[in-house]
Structure 1
Amino acid sequence: MRMMKPWWLASALLLANVSAAQGPKALREEFRNPSLRYRMNVNRHSVPREERAQDSMIRWILDNGYRGMATNVNPDDYLRSDDELAVFNRFVHAAKKQGLDLWLYDERSYPSGMAHTYVLEGHPEWEAEGLLFRDTTVRGGTTLDLAALPGERVLVRALPVTECGLDYDRSLDLSAFVRDGRLRWLAPEGRWTVAEINRSALYEGYQAGTDRGGGYAPRYPSLLLEDVTRRFIETTHRRYASAFDEPLGELFTSTFTDEPSLMAQPYQNPGYGVYPWKENVSAEFRSRYGLSLEDGLLRLMLDEGPEGQKLRYRYFRVVTDLLTRNYFGQIRDYCHTQKLLSGGHLLLEECMMAHVPLYGDIMACYRAMDIPGIDNLTGMPAFTRRYLYSSRLASSAAELEGRSRMMVESCPISDYPFHGGKEAPTQQVKGTLNRMILGGATDFNNYLQLQHEDAAGRTAVNEYVARVVGMLSGGVRASRIAVYYPIETLWTKFRPLPSGLLSWDDIAGGAPEAQQLSRLFDRVSDCLMDNGWEFSYLDSRGVEESEVEGGWLVHGDLRWDVLILPGVETLSQQAMDRIAEFVLDGGRLVVLNALPKNSPDEFPSAGIVRRFNELAGGAGPVRPAVYYEPQFEPGRLNTLLEGILTRDIVFAPHRDILYAHKRIGGRDVYFVTNDTDRAQSVKLSFPGARKLELWNPQNGEVGPLAASSELTLGPYEGMIVRRIK
């Protein structure tokens, strides 16, 4: 049963769906001459103190074609100066009087959650912490001499290595051999694995310890703790609320939380593995499972078999639940008391290997936000492959919550070395904006300045974005393919091995089996994108919440008749039963590289294995369609999909042509883009369509389109096709 939303929340979340309800004339006029509603915002983290200068800033935003801005009180004496809050109050009201859209940025500087330094004042024990893990194999007669891990020792033990594996029952305590910051131990006869586990603050070598400008690098609190977010809200959100007579939601569209995380992904490989941790993780683990986490740490760290997998699943289930409840949930709940939406973006959203140590389950975090988002660190399309998927992941989570809005923070910091210290050329920026919109973006809060344009040029880009976003806003992605987000299986494989950033959107190192699954997820997405298949991501909860109707897996207005399981070994019995119901009713299941075998409580699970074997064996009145590929190969997957699905849009050629398909107000709407810097002619066919319209966001023109047509698209041009009949 779905809970009813308050009227103000439903109205705010559906604001972007206004175009679907407009009459044809009004819709065409909005497209020809777009209002502010769907344009981009800029980010400004200080406002002028003088009224004339404030008005000039507001005028600049409007004169350059923007919708509004994400902003915050001036950083001087951050949130403690009544004078600065009065300045901010005046600016906000002046901006709203001119019709600007405002988002409330919730920090002095990223990452969010620390309220400058206020959250940790008087509570240094709230700092973000992790468990550090290192294992070393030595032979008898060898002296092990290692610098001790940072922080406070939890355990250091030596385990005999036998033909059957590690002998946990005969492990030796080596605590007495740690002196003066070093572990020195002469190994007895045999082969030994020495396991070290420490607890430590996560600061140097992590995002918290990086200089965010002028030496600013405050220490960061643990978002696992309920008291941390309670204080963050008290010192930030409630402080803002006290500065205005109106509810914050009458002035601001949403909050903008910026890269909050559990901080447990090192930037440079430190030579040891890291899990996010705080005392309440151990307490919740014991309360939930009746087990001492500390007693299981060695197997959690070292055991690649069922027992270690089960412990890791439980560990990250606890981490996910604490984070979503204590940080994202608390903020959302307070925002709703102010008739305000909660939004923002996270850290390293592009790589599943980062999702685990930073969030546990990033889709669960996205679901706990009213407007989830991502950041995009470049205007160069060639560098945005992973952003195509991070944006789709965030928008898929929003749609599973019955929402349609997703935010992108555009920050072209990666462009500067390639373009003489400037942003990418506007033509490339347009291609990147296209890609974000294809991923589901409806809102942009930009550090992107469109440096190569004057006011008229910036206005033209904003009008282009407004036309496209306006036509695509609301409704749902009309994908027939759902790709399962295999985060629970990744938990089981995520042994704490050393890792670091390979790039701003990828991780090097970590457990090889975890990396293999993360890469598989990316490769499946690549295959679908490269071959022109529209698709959504679906999490375990989404499967459980779905219903089965005539061979379709149905979640609200979302409908899929193909479900892809990439490397999925672990899922709930409820999810497995729903998948079985879907397949037996005529749905198609594609299983890649691994078979489901574990439930949250059983590794392996007889119930999961039996249920899947029943499907694969064809039990039931209709032989189910289950396709298993023990080794994923993109060409075979595409051939399979070509054989079981009919396309509703056909391109020739399809290379370098991207598209999104949405169902809005009962109509099919397509966004077709040329993803190159050269003009292309493409033949389009819409089988079964009797009446189509072509909406050109470059100039606002609308005209008829034949069901089979040839279009010439300029460099990075996009077109909207609307199916009428």
Structure 2
Amino acid sequence: MSKLWEKLASPPAEYRSAPLWSWNDKLEPAELERQIEEMHAAGIGGFFMHARGGLQTPYMGEAWMESIRISIVKSRELGMNSWFYDENGWPSGFADGEVPARGIAYQQKMLAWEKPPFRHPVERAIACYSLEAASGEYRLLPQEESGAADLAMYYEVNPYYTDTLSKLAVGEFITAAYERYWEEFGQLEAEGAALPGIFTDEPQFARGRLPWSFELEEAFASRSGYMVQEILPALFFPQRSSNKARYDYWSTVTAMFTEAYAKQIGDFCAAKGWAATGHVVDEQELMHQVTSVGDPMAFYEYLQIPGCDWLGRFVGEEPLVPKQVSSAARQTGKKRTITESFGCSGWNVSIQDLRRIGEWQFVHGINFLCQHLQGYSLRGLRKRDYPPSLFYQQPWWKDYRGFNDYFARLSMILAEGTGRAEVLLLHPVRSAWLAQCGEDTSAIVPYHEAFALLTRWLCQALIEHDYGSESIIARHGRVSEGQFIVGEAAYRTVIIPPSLTLDRVTAALLQEFVEQGGHLVACGPAPALVSGEDSGQLERLLQSAVQPEWNSEALRSAVAAVSAPFVQITDEAGKKLASDTLNVRSVNLEDSVVYYIVNSGTEGCGNVNIELRQRGRVSLIDPETGSITELDSEASAQGMRVALPLYAAHSLLLKVEEYGDADVAREIAESMEAAESREVVESEEAAEGREVVESEEAAVVLELGPEEPGGSGE
């Protein structure tokens, strides 16, 4: 048995949960040490020292730094990890007000427009335009003709947050938070203290508005080859140039945010031996992603441990939030993925609820649990801070060790394993860029719903898949031997969701992919634009694609023709099971394949038959104890079959090892021949009915809106 499996009984701190430890009162040395001891006894591996509402110790002052030092020393004594958190509250980026206090160049700015009479401050004017009545087109006016303008563009200022598109402003934030922590505690790293990294929380650039920055004009001209002032009306009103204008604008904004914030922080942490971790805001829907972060997956590339936020007492129908993170991590070679979970789940949340929510995210690619939150104090209003506090205040606290041991074992196995998905579903956020009309997101909705439904159908069919950000593809995409490769992940099948546009790099790579025999599936309405411009390039490409009808079975058949699921699950009657809450993840781990099967629903599946597309000895891993028990299994035509119960809010962790004994291997081969003939009979019997969850196939209208964003769609 390898050292990894030997650690399963008692996983080390690096795989254990690390909650947000809410520092929300006057910090006392003895109480800090007592609470760290409580965490250690409960099987928690570390903590994020998080300034939060109610804090009575001056943030970043002498007593604050001493509290951190005490916590680092105590955690080191107990073999735990002390993580920094980069802000006083959230969203990260303003350094407790220090950054915006430096002046307007550092402050958040948003685009605004006005028609006569003009009342906006002259010093905030960007450009003026005249309206050509016949065409409805706006024309940029020279400065001397601004008196005849029909439209003015200007910017508004939020003096309390930071211009996160600005390298200057974010650089000041890094100086105020990251540099300060390094100066105070960097020497402890050299002395062996466990200081793994720092958490950044919900950075954003406009959240419902369109961002502006003093650095935008130069960045846009450099990327696009023309002045941003020429196209500003097209961001808010339908114009002939709207598609290209919006594509170029949001492409620039996304790159600026990613490079100014994620890359600068990631580079700083890498240079110090730290891991930058955390998550952006508004990860859950395309309608919110555009104006908050541009492309969340592009941001994740630069975090050493990318992550997400999951609030509430529920699991999602579709896995967008965790799968965006895990896809980017796999493609860019990141082992760890973190979730900030359980905030707003309520004081009466149960351990079963917590496990169900956590495992739903883990089966979709997360492997590091950060509980939201643990309150240093619950005095006064503190108990109402996005509850619950999952800490010593809970009546079940003494039993919490089992929960943390359970997720530590899952974390170790899933983090050390490598993903096996060979299907890539392109992420359509760039089509959302085109459909965003000013602050109106309504034209994005059908594209979001179609994307969400596609990933649900794939999950219901147990077809493991990743998402493809065209920002990451542009940097790390290539084609080799009929495989579409993104960084460290290779795919045999690529799916184009209903879209308006593909990026120029993506389109070229897909053409090369099909020419090498790659399997392309396109779901209509198919894109007609390349980088926001009309192009005949895609017509030829789409002729090489399989274009299934818009239903779950047609999609499953189209994909499975080349990329069949690694697992099949049937009930005792032989009917295939499919549900939004029944999901699978498999990883290669040393000389084994591990299959993680999760029922995150509130109803059990009864006794199920599980067919694994892998031959070998099958064992059941128990994350509650770390024990591994060999199972009775039988060979099937595709691999191995086992029968097990699958309860509500329950999971199965199966390990398949290759047979080492040649005689046993021959015996298995013979039994597989018998299994093939037996399965012919079984498949005929099972063909009478397939138990499939209601797919909401009619929920997404096939006529997915206008090609001209902002139109009526009629």
- Shorter-chain TM-score bucket reads 0.7 to 0.9
Deviation at 1:129, TM superposition (A): 0.9
Does residue 646 of the first structure (1) align with residue 564 of the second (2)? yes
Question: Which amino acid is 1:518 matched to?
Answer: H
Deviation at 1:530, TM superposition (A): 2.4
Aligned to 1:433: 358
Match of 1:574, SS state, is helix
Deviation at 1:560, TM superposition (A): 1.4
Aligned to 2:598: 673
Match of 2:276, SS state, is coil
Does residue 457 of the first structure (1) align with residue 399 of the second (2)? yes
Deviation at 1:248, TM superposition (A): 5.2
C-alpha separation between the residues in 2 aligned to 1:533 and 1:150? 57
Does residue 34 of the first structure (1) align with residue 11 of the second (2)? yes
Does residue 88 of the first structure (1) align with residue 59 of the second (2)? no
Aligned to 1:524: 454
Going from structure 1 to structure 2, the CA distance change for 1:664 and 1:28 (only over 3 Å counts) comes to closer
C-alpha separation between the residues in 1 aligned to 2:512 and 2:210? 37
1:35-67 deviation digits (Å, cap 9, x = unpaired): 433221221232875443232111100112211
Question: Quick one: which of 158, 161, 177 aligns to 1:236?
Answer: 177
Aligned to 1:385: 317
Going from structure 1 to structure 2, the CA distance change for 1:666 and 1:481 (only over 3 Å counts) comes to farther
Match of 1:533, SS state, is coil
Going from structure 1 to structure 2, the CA distance change for 1:171 and 1:378 (only over 3 Å counts) comes to same
C-alpha separation between the residues in 2 aligned to 1:150 and 1:515? 37
Question: Which amino acid is 2:317 matched to?
Answer: R
1:98-132 deviation digits (Å, cap 9, x = unpaired): 11122210001101111101112232442101112
Deviation at 1:494, TM superposition (A): 1.9
Task: Assess if the C-alpha contact under 8 Å between 1:129 and 1:222 holds in 2.
Answer: yes
- How does the TM-score come out when normalised to structure 2? 0.80
Aligned to 2:254: 320
Q: Which piece of structure 1 moves more, 691-700 or 539-548?
A: 539-548
Which runs of no fewer than 5 residues in structure 1 stay unpaired?
Answer: 1-22, 136-143, 179-193, 204-218, 266-273, 417-421, 499-509, 618-623
Aligned to 1:54: 32
Question: Which amino acid is 2:489 matched to?
Answer: L
C-alpha separation between the residues in 1 aligned to 2:508 and 2:130? 43
Deviation at 1:588, TM superposition (A): 1.0
Does residue 285 of the first structure (1) align with residue 217 of the second (2)? no
Aligned to 1:299: 234
Question: Which amino acid is 2:609 matched to?
Answer: K
Match of 1:220, SS state, is strand
Q: Which piece of structure 1 moves more, 226-235 or 65-74?
A: 65-74
Q: What are the equivalent positions in structure 2 for 1:171-190 lying under 5 Å apart?
A: none
Aligned to 2:415: 473
Question: Quick one: which of 624, 627, 638 aligns to 2:546?
Answer: 627
Aligned to 1:711: 644
Question: Which amino acid is 2:182 matched to?
Answer: A
Deviation at 1:565, TM superposition (A): 0.8
Question: Quick one: which of 181, 201, 205 aligns to 1:262?
Answer: 205
Q: What are the equivalent positions in structure 2 for 1:298-377 lying under 5 Å apart?
A: 298-303=233-238, 305=240, 307-377=241-311
Q: Which piece of structure 1 moves more, 75-84 or 33-42?
A: 75-84
C-alpha separation between the residues in 2 aligned to 1:160 and 1:634? 48
Question: Which amino acid is 2:366 matched to?
Answer: A
Task: Assess if the C-alpha contact under 8 Å between 2:127 and 2:140 holds in 1.
Answer: no
Question: Which amino acid is 2:331 matched to?
Answer: L
Identity %: 20
Does residue 592 of the first structure (1) align with residue 508 of the second (2)? no
Deviation at 1:366, TM superposition (A): 0.8
Question: Which amino acid is 2:22 matched to?
Answer: H
1:147-184 deviation digits (Å, cap 9, x = unpaired): 9899955567674654xx52446999998799xxxxxx
Going from structure 1 to structure 2, the CA distance change for 1:295 and 1:547 (only over 3 Å counts) comes to closer
Going from structure 1 to structure 2, the CA distance change for 1:589 and 1:45 (only over 3 Å counts) comes to same
Aligned to 1:199: 155
Deviation at 1:489, TM superposition (A): 2.6
Question: Quick one: which of 683, 690, 698 aligns to 2:624?
Answer: 698
Going from structure 1 to structure 2, the CA distance change for 1:101 and 1:196 (only over 3 Å counts) comes to same
Question: Which amino acid is 1:295 matched to?
Answer: E
Aligned to 2:168: 227
Question: Which amino acid is 1:339 matched to?
Answer: G
Going from structure 1 to structure 2, the CA distance change for 1:59 and 1:578 (only over 3 Å counts) comes to same
Does residue 407 of the first structure (1) align with residue 338 of the second (2)? yes
Aligned to 1:503: none
C-alpha separation between the residues in 2 aligned to 1:169 and 1:107? 43
Aligned to 1:502: none
Deviation at 1:523, TM superposition (A): 1.7
C-alpha separation between the residues in 2 aligned to 1:169 and 1:324? 31
Task: Assess if the C-alpha contact under 8 Å between 2:234 and 2:246 holds in 1.
Answer: no
C-alpha separation between the residues in 2 aligned to 1:238 and 1:664? 38
Deviation at 1:363, TM superposition (A): 1.2
- How does the TM-score come out when normalised to structure 1? 0.79
1:57-92 deviation digits (Å, cap 9, x = unpaired): 111001122111111579556454223312321221
Task: Assess if the C-alpha contact under 8 Å between 1:159 and 1:171 holds in 2.
Answer: no
Task: Assess if the C-alpha contact under 8 Å between 1:496 and 1:511 holds in 2.
Answer: no
Q: Which piece of structure 1 moves more, 438-447 or 639-648?
A: 639-648
Match of 2:366, SS state, is coil
C-alpha separation between the residues in 2 aligned to 1:172 and 1:244? 54
C-alpha separation between the residues in 1 aligned to 2:578 and 2:521? 24
Task: Assess if the C-alpha contact under 8 Å between 2:602 and 2:648 holds in 1.
Answer: yes
Task: Assess if the C-alpha contact under 8 Å between 1:153 and 1:199 holds in 2.
Answer: yes
Match of 1:236, SS state, is helix
C-alpha separation between the residues in 2 aligned to 1:357 and 1:539? 17
Deviation at 1:692, TM superposition (A): 1.7
Q: What are the equivalent positions in structure 2 for 1:19-30 lying under 5 Å apart?
A: 23-24=1-2, 26-30=3-7
C-alpha separation between the residues in 2 aligned to 1:426 and 1:481? 34
Deviation at 1:351, TM superposition (A): 1.0
Aligned to 1:492: 434
Going from structure 1 to structure 2, the CA distance change for 1:543 and 1:87 (only over 3 Å counts) comes to closer
Match of 1:685, SS state, is strand
Match of 1:672, SS state, is strand
Going from structure 1 to structure 2, the CA distance change for 1:541 and 1:277 (only over 3 Å counts) comes to closer
Question: Which amino acid is 1:604 matched to?
Answer: D
Deviation at 1:651, TM superposition (A): 0.4
Task: Assess if the C-alpha contact under 8 Å between 2:129 and 2:140 holds in 1.
Answer: no
Task: Assess if the C-alpha contact under 8 Å between 2:129 and 2:152 holds in 1.
Answer: yes
C-alpha separation between the residues in 1 aligned to 2:178 and 2:304? 16
Aligned to 2:106: 126
Q: Which piece of structure 1 moves more, 93-102 or 445-454?
A: 445-454
Question: Which amino acid is 2:365 matched to?
Answer: G
Does residue 661 of the first structure (1) align with residue 586 of the second (2)? yes
Aligned to 1:10: none
C-alpha separation between the residues in 2 aligned to 1:454 and 1:699? 19
Aligned to 2:43: 65
Question: Which amino acid is 1:408 matched to?
Answer: T
Aligned to 2:694: none
C-alpha separation between the residues in 2 aligned to 1:150 and 1:439? 51
